[in-house]
Amino acid sequence: MLSAHQPFETYPAPIREAAHEAGGVAQVAGGVPAMCDGVTQGQPGMELSLFSRDVIAMAAGIGLSHNMFDAAVYLGVCDKIVPGLAIAALTFGHLPAVFIPAGPMTTGLPNDEKAKVRQLFAEGKVGRDELLEAESKSYHGPGTCTFYGTANSNQMLMEIMGFHLPGA
């Protein structure tokens, strides 16, 4: 549903293929719930945002609890999913692990233009249709959100800590 998560829909197949070519077997151990603050703003359930980190950590932990894996690959983006997956990875610290991000979203409407439309909307000078059009132009493709917020800072932190390949 979310642009930052969309690329992960197709990641398991190439991961399985790469593992097979290297003489291994890869399988999906589990999936975790994901939410986006940008989508849930003002919606019922928004207060579950930070709580979801613990749910994500537990869901990933349950997926790994079978004691059947030699390593783990974590697919995640954002300030809830990445910390939750990191908690799971630390819990299963005996397993080598790598985190794979969704990659960057292509550039859309620049942040200053989007901010201007948001300000005009707040002042009542443009309507909801104009606001939604600007938002759609801002987030128009798959990948990690284009603004330098928590999704990008988490991706950079994972790279700095050595969990992502440089430039990921």
Where in the sequence of the chain do the CATH 3.40.50 domains occur?
6-105+147-161
- Is the alpha carbon torsion for 79, 81, 86, 87 positive or negative? positive
Name which of 103, 99, 136 is nearest 117 in CA terms.
136
Q: Which residue has the higher pLDDT, 86 or 34?
A: 86
Burial 145-161 (b: 16+ CB within 10 A, else e): bbeeebbbebbebbbee
What is the Cα–Cα distance from 38 to 60, expressed in whole angstroms? Answer: 23
**pTM attached to this predicted model:** 0.78
Question: Is the pLDDT at 74 greater than 90, yes or no?
Answer: yes
CATH 1.10.1060 for domain 6-105+147-161, yes or no, is: no
Instruction: Say if residue 146's pLDDT is above 70.
Output: no
Contact call for residues 19 and 65 (beta carbons, < 8 A): no
